[in-house]
Structure 1
């Protein structure tokens, strides 16, 4: 079993023995962050293109990657960003395979270093499909942090089509899912939530 085998949220919750709480407006008090002119120009150029191509790969490269790079720049490259790397944490629980995006509060870009704080799962058009996989990767990040001397870290996650974003938070064995779905027109709010783990 691997991350991609967690096809549903229910499957991830049951297999990993987590408690799930639906929270409307979980991140409503997070202050928005204005996008830079650089990011805004990039998205102005790529939004229609990504929608026209309409593949998961195009949305990842043209929309999600520029947004995550903006977060990295905000913190003066003091956080690391990984894309598509293997993250084998616990074979017996099926926590193996590659993730779409991972961010760590470390400058080390050569290897993944604890604490891992944010994971983003890219999906083509249905956010619900990515929830189980994202939860499994978040749980793996929590185990990874524990084993590397950073126990008790809250892990944040997101499932995104590039234009639509849904956010999650894992604390201990409790996963909170924000029922609010954010859209690319709410970019300052999306940036605010993505930057939250690194403040």
Structure 2
């Protein structure tokens, strides 16, 4: 069993004794972040192409990866970016396999280092169908971080590249955001994706 074998939210919640909250807009108060001219140009060029090809791989390469790499730029390479990487934490529990995208609060780029902050799962059309897999990956990240006593909320997203659905895991509670976000509102998307790193680096610097 691996991450992709989790097909329903009920299944992953039963396996890991999680509770779900779908009642909140998680990021209403998050400020937008200025979009670089480079990312604006990339998305303007790539969105029509990604729509025309209409495959998960094309949307990952043309839309999702450039958006996530912008987060790395915003934080001056203090954010690690991993694409299609193995993330094996506990095979007996199904916490193993490949993750589409992982963002860490670490400069390391050759290996995944703690803390893992955000996991992004790409889906061609069915966002709902990717939620259970994303939650399983978030649980794995939580356990990975806890091995070195790093306790922080884990963020996740399931996206078609055009539409983004965000999640947050803290303890055994998983919030699934009421609101979906769209690539055309890139500044808001970047604000949401930046938020957990802003919080982590602020706390780290205060200590």
TM-score, normalised relative to structure 1: 0.98
Name the CA distance, whole Å, in 1 between partners of 2:23 and 2:32: 19
- What SS is found at the alignment partner of 2:64? helix
- What SS is found at the alignment partner of 1:179? strand
The runs of at least 4 consecutive aligned structure 1 residues that moved more than 4 Å come to none
TM-score, normalised relative to structure 2: 0.94
Match of 2:201 in 1: none
User: How many residues are paired up?
Assistant: 198
Name the CA distance, whole Å, in 2 between partners of 1:53 and 1:195: 29
Name the CA distance, whole Å, in 1 between partners of 2:16 and 2:58: 31
Match of 2:33 in 1: 33
Name the CA distance, whole Å, in 1 between partners of 2:46 and 2:90: 37
Match of 1:169 in 2: 168
Name the CA distance, whole Å, in 1 between partners of 2:87 and 2:4: 12
State the 1:185 CA deviation: 1.4
Match of 1:189 in 2: 188
Name the CA distance, whole Å, in 2 between partners of 1:141 and 1:3: 12
**RMSD, aligned α-carbons:** 0.8
State the 1:24 CA deviation: 3.2
Match of 1:157 in 2: 156
Name the CA distance, whole Å, in 2 between partners of 1:179 and 1:10: 18
State the 1:23 CA deviation: 3.0
The unaligned stretches of length 5 or more in structure 1 are: none
Pairwise mapping of residues 11-30 of structure 1 onto structure 2 (< 5 A)? 11-30=11-30
- What SS is found at the alignment partner of 1:181? strand
Q: Deviations over 1:118-139 (max 9, x none)?
A: 0000000011011000000000
Match of 2:64 in 1: 64
